[in-house]
Amino acid sequence: DADVTQTPRNRITKTGKRIMLECSQTKGHDRMYWYRQDPGLGLRLIYYSFDVKDINKGEISDGYSVSRQAQAKFSLSLESAIPNQTALYFCATSDLRDRDTGELFFGEGSRLTVL
């Protein structure tokens, strides 16, 4: 089983619908992240969380919200989806103990299409 699991893997929805992307991890890491990937733009940080009570905005948080339900779960919501939120979304984790040298561990991604 994957260490970082994202659901759904693919979703097609319509403008105005509420969408939730879920991420769960078995790595025991404190830190979790949501990134968005668009062709030619690399990955951009949406939100990140250092623990259940600590949520922080990233570079492109407008139009998104998150919930850290438990150490292992971090959900991304689009309250009213719009077409320019069509992208590939990645959840990632990292270990607080590796904060000075640490790598990110990524899920397989959730492809969202907003019509």
Partner 1 sequence: SQQGEEDPQALSIQEGENATMNCSYKTSINNLQWYRQNSGRGLVHLILIRSNEREKHSGRLRVTLDTSKKSSSLLITASRAADTASYFCATDPGEGAQKLVFGQGTRLTINP
Q: Please identify, using beta-carbon distances, which residue of 79 and 103 lies nearer to partner 1.
A: 103
Residues near partner 1, by CB under 8 A: 4, 31, 33, 35, 40-45, 48, 50, 56, 58-59, 88, 90, 92, 94, 98-109, 111
Query: 35 or 74, CB closer to partner 1?
Result: 35
What is the closest distance, in whole angstroms, from the C-beta atom of residue 18 to partner 1 in the complex?
Answer: 25
- CA-closest candidate to residue 31, choices 6, 9, 4: 4
Report the residue number, 81 or 107, with the smaller CB distance to partner 1: 107
Rounded Cα–Cα distance for residues 74 and 18 (Å): 17
CB of 20 to partner 1, least distance (A): 19
The SS3 call for residue 38 is strand
Task: Answer for the pair 21, 8: CB distance below 8 angstroms, yes or no.
Answer: yes
- What whole-number distance in Å separates Cα of residue 100 and Cα of residue 95? 10
